[in-house]
């Protein structure tokens, strides 16, 4: 029973939060969750983990649907492309 509860909590935690994709050697793409009103900066905790020396935002894409643009959900979803310094 405890193992099933632990697995369920891990699966739920995996569905929340920003996701990170590596594009090349120093370039990453961060996809945010739906944020009411949007956000002007990427997830700083996640960006600092992959770029401890700092980062620069190359591009940001804003949309009002889920990241796959299939379902309508509340909030503003943003995808940032960052490059480590």
CA distances 54 to 39, 67, 79, Å, are 19, 26, 18
**pLDDT over threshold 60, residue 34:** yes
Q: How many domains does the chain contain in total?
A: 1
Q: Is residue 32 part of a domain?
A: yes
Q: Is residue 14 part of a domain?
A: no
Indicate the pTM of the whole model.
Answer: 0.67
Q: What pLDDT is stored for residue 21 in this prediction?
A: 87
Q: Is residue 2 part of a domain?
A: no
Q: Is residue 8 part of a domain?
A: no
Q: Is residue 10 part of a domain?
A: no
Q: Is residue 6 part of a domain?
A: no
Residue with the larger pLDDT of the pair 5 and 61: 61
Q: Is residue 69 part of a domain?
A: yes
Domain limits at 50? 23-84
Environment class of 51 (CB within 10 Å of its CB; exposed 0-12, middle 13-18, buried 19+) = middle
User: What's the rounded mean pLDDT across residues 10-33?
Assistant: 75
């Amino acid at each position: 029973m405890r193992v099933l509860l632990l697995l369920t909590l891990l699966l739920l935690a995996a569905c929340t939060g920003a996701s990170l994709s590596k594009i090349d050697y120093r370039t990453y793409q961060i996809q945010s969750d739906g944020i009411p009103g949007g956000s002007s900066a990427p997830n700083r905790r996640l960006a600092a983990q992959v770029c401890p020396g700092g980062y620069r935002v190359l591009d940001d894409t804003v949309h009002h649907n889920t990241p796959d643009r299939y379902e309508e959900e509340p909030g503003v979803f943003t995808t940032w492309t960052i490059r480590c310094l």
